[in-house]
């Protein structure tokens, strides 16, 4: 995960809220990248973090200091992949389902690269196994490269769901 600046974020909408103590959050993500800019519309004081994930997805983490919650702003609806990668899936979280539904139906920029894909493995004995299903090809390709880099003999490949 690479730190970027607010200037690198083109689009983003909060779709997930997570309850996590500030100390634990800072321990996980490091010192804030920015305090609340004047033009940032938030109820109460916030600290901000900006990251680019290894498959190119840019996110903003907005920590609300008075209520100990963080909003995750995404540029694509790869929500499961983001939560999994940043390691916050085990915390209590809330999906903004109305916003997600609206983005799916009216904002193609958030869904343009979403083609659910699955990562498969062929082991030494010729057995094929599903490793994981992902929301997009770019996330599945990232995890394929990650598994292949581990140096095991297994063969990994990605297929678009519904194509097999």
- Check if the beta carbon of residue 46 is closer than 8 Å to that of residue 62: yes
Identify whether residues 35 and 94 lie together within a single domain. yes
Nearest to 31 by CA among 44, 50, 10: 50
Identify whether residues 139 and 63 lie together within a single domain. no
Identify whether residues 21 and 94 lie together within a single domain. yes
Instruction: Read off the pLDDT of each residue in 33-37 and give the average, rounded to a whole number.
Output: 87
Q: What's the 3-state SS for 122-162?
A: ECCCCCEEEEEEECCHHHHHHHHHHHHHCCCCCEEEEEECC
Residue 131 reports pLDDT greater than 60: yes
Cα distance between residue 117 and residue 10, in whole Å: 25
Domain count, the chain: 2
Question: What are 127's two structure tokens?
Answer: 């057995």
Identify whether residues 23 and 103 lie together within a single domain. yes
Identify whether residues 24 and 84 lie together within a single domain. yes
Question: Which residues span the domain enclosing 31?
Answer: 2-110
Identify whether residues 10 and 46 lie together within a single domain. yes
Identify whether residues 26 and 102 lie together within a single domain. yes
Identify whether residues 25 and 79 lie together within a single domain. yes
Question: What are 117's two structure tokens?
Answer: 């894909």
Cα distance between residue 88 and residue 71, in whole Å: 12
Whole-prediction pTM value?
Answer: 0.88
Residue 152 reports pLDDT greater than 80: no
Question: What are 145's two structure tokens?
Answer: 């490269």
For the chain, the average pLDDT equals 92
- pLDDT band per the 50, 70, 90 thresholds, residue 127: very high
Identify whether residues 16 and 50 lie together within a single domain. yes
Identify whether residues 72 and 126 lie together within a single domain. no
Identify whether residues 123 and 104 lie together within a single domain. no
């Amino acid at each position: 995960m690479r730190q970027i600046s607010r200037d690198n974020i083109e689009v983003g909408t909060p779709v997930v809220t997570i309850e996590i103590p500030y100390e634990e959050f800072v321990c996980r993500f490091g010192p804030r990248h920015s305090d609340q800019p004047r033009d940032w519309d938030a109820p109460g004081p916030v600290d901000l973090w900006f990251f680019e994930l290894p498959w190119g997805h840019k996110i903003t983490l907005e920590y609300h200091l008075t209520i100990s919650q963080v909003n995750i702003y995404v540029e694509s609806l790869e929500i499961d992949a983001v939560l999994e990668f940043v390691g916050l899936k085990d915390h209590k979280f809330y999906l903004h389902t109305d916003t997600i539904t609206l983005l799916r139906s009216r904002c193609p920029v958030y869904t343009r690269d979403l083609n659910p894909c699955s990562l498969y493995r062929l082991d030494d004995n010729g057995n094929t196994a599903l490793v994981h299903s992902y929301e997009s090809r770019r996330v599945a390709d990232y995890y394929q490269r990650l598994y292949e880099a581990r140096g095991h003999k297994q063969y990994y490949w990605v297929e678009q769901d519904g194509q097999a």
